[in-house]
Amino acid sequence: MIRKYVYGTPFPTDAVMGSVEEAGEELPFFERDESGMFSYRLDENDIVYGLGEQVRGINKRGWQYISWNFDNPNHQEDTRSLYGAHNFIIISGEQTFGAFFDYAGKIEFDIGYTNRSVMRIKPAQNDLAVYIITGENEKDIAGQFRRLIGRSYIPPFWAFGYGQSRWGYRNEQDIRTVAAQYQAADIPLDSIYLDIDYMERYKDFTVDPNRFPDLKQLTSELKAQGIRLVPIIDAGVKIEEGYDVYEEGVQHNYFCKDAGGNDFVGAVWPGRVHFPDFLQPEARKWFGRKYAALTGLGIEGFWNDMNEPAIFYTEDRLADTCAEIQKLAAGNMGINEYFAFTGMVAGLNGNPGDYDKFYHNVNGKPVRHSEVHNLYGMNMTRAAAEALREICPDKRILFFSRSSYIGAHRYGGIWQGDNKSWWSHILQSMQQLPGLNMAGFLFTGADTGGFGSDTTEDQMLRWLQYSLFTPLFRNHSAEGTRMQELYCFDNVNAAAEMIRIRYCLIPYLYSEFLKAALLDNMMFRPLAFDFPKDPMARQTEDQLLLGNELMIAPVYRQNALGRSVYLPEEMMLVTMRSWDQYTTEILPRGHHYVDVALEELVFFIRRNKAIPFGKPASHTSALDREDLHLLGYPGSAYELYADDGCSLDPESSLTVSTLC
Ligand code: MIG
């Protein structure tokens, strides 16, 4: 059952589909005080699930999280905000229920931080809708919520292939080298990503004519090899006379305005930019149609970046800061002045005050950006998705965004942002998956190998052994970091085998993805969602159930040659060295230590279940989706979902068959 409670005058977020009647009776479970703060007393054994893209555990207890979409490359234990606002939680314990705080601005979730046994939720302003969901159990509650927010985005089939990315591929030759090296090493590959360097001076929808003289030719040449190019699009539009996107945006008032009614100016990669006002339907249509410039060159996928939106600085704050620094430098800079100086400089990027200084035009009325901040990235993605349906009505386009709000899951996926080549970030990515799935984000994954800092060969192998299960499977890294294309390492074949195994698993992963999307299920679940009474399952933070058949338990510690695993039921351990060389062993319910050599992948098949397992191919279009065998308990069957992988309406080509 879903009940809705409205406070003040909420800004419509479009997270929820259709309309839900307001409940007559009082808000259950929570106390609400006169300041507008919601509080809930946590029982010792209560678990709080959710919040999607956030730091810390699957159980969010014991920290304060702030939904304020933020370009934050530091994903640490003490981080409070990342790129998304996924304000849905499920409290599991004494009382089990879900709560969605549908609010476009900043909102704090103090989950046993100030006081260990109290959860406090406080929106910046008291204009919001709260949805309370009760049901049979956690899975049922999550399913009801997913039906409320609408069907998750389904990418094209080829998006399940492996992708190579790096910020720093400078020209066509760099891209050709990546493709050639993958082929030479016999590693499957479906996509190569174009980061900001393909653009002409970071101008959206342009291609640098010197470094990428013929993108159309490059796109078709690579597509003939089964590889798609996936360019990035940033939110800010460069201010430059004669640049059509800039000129048109100014002319039609499609950009956000400052308090004086002028187009607001911020600085990001292109230098001074205006920010499209994605809250205006007309601006969305206009910006969305611009993607046709690239689809016209044969492009079939995009990633949207910097759409929190990220602002490196605004000119007035920069001027004020420089003036202050001059004053400081004129005196004898003592320690206090020195720290004031470094703080001011660091505080330019993403300064909260800057988000108070611009406005959206909502049906003719100015709305201060900070009040609707968390909707910006979602509406950028929506702009593209809605337009692309018209530009390319006959096929799905791969689409994922950095910033998001619940509702964006209908338009595209998200990647988990600028992580680092840290072992802890393998686990962090995994711990976000259940919360993301609860919020509808199924097509997701981390920058494999880590974005910032330098990876090592062993870390890359372990990372692959986790990421090969995530729908979005992309190796990406930052400019200036160590090269981490798989052919750069000594034991290329060990990595290649992991990618081959991924391709053998694609029929299963795609089938479970379709089920999750079409039936509003979570593809990745905490153990306790299926074993709610098992106290050990309720504590397990480093294993997940995948679909209905698998449990994953990756190794995420350096130099570990195995790990402890908890089995909530009897399961079959599968240890794979290569796609055609593996062992299986039935293990009873309980605690086990499992050996996992560096070149080995392990996963578990649940009791009396089996998964379809195919053969590798150099890319998804060469996969034989019929040539499957069942891997798992003898005598068990599997229900396979498949489709043509490209129709906009997935039901139009859906087939459901039983493999046994
Ligand atoms: O300020 O385009 O998260 O994936 O490589 C950095 C360069 C801008 C941030 C993205 C990252 C991308 C990078 N971008």
Q: Which domain holds residue 70?
A: 2-149
Buried b (16+ CB within 10 A) or exposed e, 426-445: bbbbbbbbbbbbbbbbbbbb
Query: CB neighbours of 438 closer than 8 A, spacing ≥ 6?
Result: 49, 50, 52, 86, 88, 90, 142, 145, 146, 522
Among candidates 571, 575, 563, which has minimal Cα distance to 601?
575
Mean pLDDT of the residues in the chain: 97
Q: According to the model, what pLDDT value does residue 267 have?
A: 97
Mutate to test the pocket of ligand 1, among 74, 192, 194, 195 (most ligand atoms within 8 A of CB): 195
pLDDT digits (tens, 9 = 90+) for 273-294: 999 999 999 999 999 999 999 9
% of residues, the chain, pLDDT over 70: 100
In a domain? residue 499? no
Instruction: Examine the fold and report which residue of 149, 164, 180 is the final residue of a domain before the chain moves on.
Output: 149
In a domain? residue 263? no
3-state per-residue secondary structure call for 300-341: CEEEEECCCCCCCECHHHHHHHHHHHHHHHHCCCCHHHHHHH
Q: According to the model, what pLDDT value does residue 328 have?
A: 86
CA atoms of 544 and 554, how far apart (whole Å): 10
**Active-site residue, from 308, 497, 512, 549:** 308
- Here the tokens at position 641 are 């979902």
Among candidates 569, 575, 570, which has minimal Cα distance to 594?
575
% of residues, the chain, pLDDT over 90: 97
Closest ligand 1 atom to residue 73 Cα is 3
- Here the tokens at position 653 are 């080509």
For residue 586, the tally of other CB atoms under 10 A from its CB is 11
Strand, coil or helix: 494: helix
User: Is pLDDT above 90 for 329?
Assistant: no
pLDDT digits (tens, 9 = 90+) for 401-441: 999 999 999 999 999 999 999 999 999 999 999 999 999 99
Query: CB neighbours of 539 closer than 8 A, spacing ≥ 6?
Result: none
CATH number of the domain that residue 69 is part of: 2.60.40.1760
DSSP assignment, residue 181?
A: H
User: Is pLDDT above 90 for 559?
Assistant: yes
pTM listed for this prediction: 0.98
Tell me the CA–centroid distance for residue 305 and ligand 1, in Å.
Answer: 7
Cβ of 418 below 6 Å from ligand 1: yes
- In this structure, are residues 529 and 551 in contact, taking their beta carbons and an 8 Å threshold? no
Mean pLDDT to the nearest integer, 312-337: 90
Instruction: Examine the fold and report which residue of 125, 149, 173 is the final residue of a domain before the chain moves on.
Output: 149
Mutate to test the pocket of ligand 1, among 69, 83, 167 (most ligand atoms within 8 A of CB): 167
Query: Is residue 658 within a helix (H) or strand (E), and if so which, with residue range?
Result: strand 655-659
Closest ligand 1 atom to residue 165 Cα is 5
In a domain? residue 382? no
What is the number of domains present in the chain?
Answer: 2
Strand, coil or helix: 445: strand
Instruction: Examine the fold and report which residue of 89, 120, 149 is the final residue of a domain before the chain moves on.
Output: 149
Ligand 1: residue whose CA is nearest its atom 2: 196
3-state per-residue secondary structure call for 182-214: HHHCCCCCCEEEECHHHCCCCCCCCCCCCCCCC
**Active-site residue, from 300, 418, 485, 520:** 418
CATH number of the domain that residue 632 is part of: 2.60.40.4040
Q: According to the model, what pLDDT value does residue 249 have?
A: 98
pLDDT digits (tens, 9 = 90+) for 151-207: 999 999 999 999 999 999 999 999 999 999 999 999 999 999 999 999 999 999 999
Q: According to the model, what pLDDT value does residue 556 have?
A: 98
Cα torsion for 480, 481, 483, 484, to the nearest 10°?
Answer: -150
Instruction: Choose the weakest-confidence range: 61-70, 311-320, 335-344, 513-522.
Output: 335-344
Cβ of 197 below 6 Å from ligand 1: no
CA atoms of 455 and 618, how far apart (whole Å): 25
In a domain? residue 9? yes
In a domain? residue 97? yes
pLDDT digits (tens, 9 = 90+) for 259-272: 999 999 999 999 99
Known catalytic residue: 320? Answer: no
CA atoms of 213 and 216, how far apart (whole Å): 9
In a domain? residue 369? no
CA atoms of 99 and 287, how far apart (whole Å): 34
Cβ of 305 below 6 Å from ligand 1: yes
User: Is pLDDT above 90 for 139?
Assistant: yes
Ligand 1: residue whose CA is nearest its atom 12: 167
In a domain? residue 191? no
Tell me the CA–centroid distance for residue 568 and ligand 1, in Å.
Answer: 40
Known catalytic residue: 418? Answer: yes
**Active-site residue, from 53, 305, 354, 520:** 305
In a domain? residue 88? yes
Cβ of 311 below 6 Å from ligand 1: no
- Here the tokens at position 253 are 């008032």
pLDDT digits (tens, 9 = 90+) for 204-233: 999 999 999 999 999 999 999 999 999 999
Q: According to the model, what pLDDT value does residue 333 have?
A: 84
CA 289 to chain centre: 24
- In this structure, are residues 528 and 544 in contact, taking their beta carbons and an 8 Å threshold? no
Cβ of 308 below 6 Å from ligand 1: no
Give the HSE-up count for residue 154: Cα atoms under 13 Å, Cβ half-sphere.
Answer: 27
Cβ of 530 below 6 Å from ligand 1: no
Tell me the CA–centroid distance for residue 271 and ligand 1, in Å.
Answer: 15
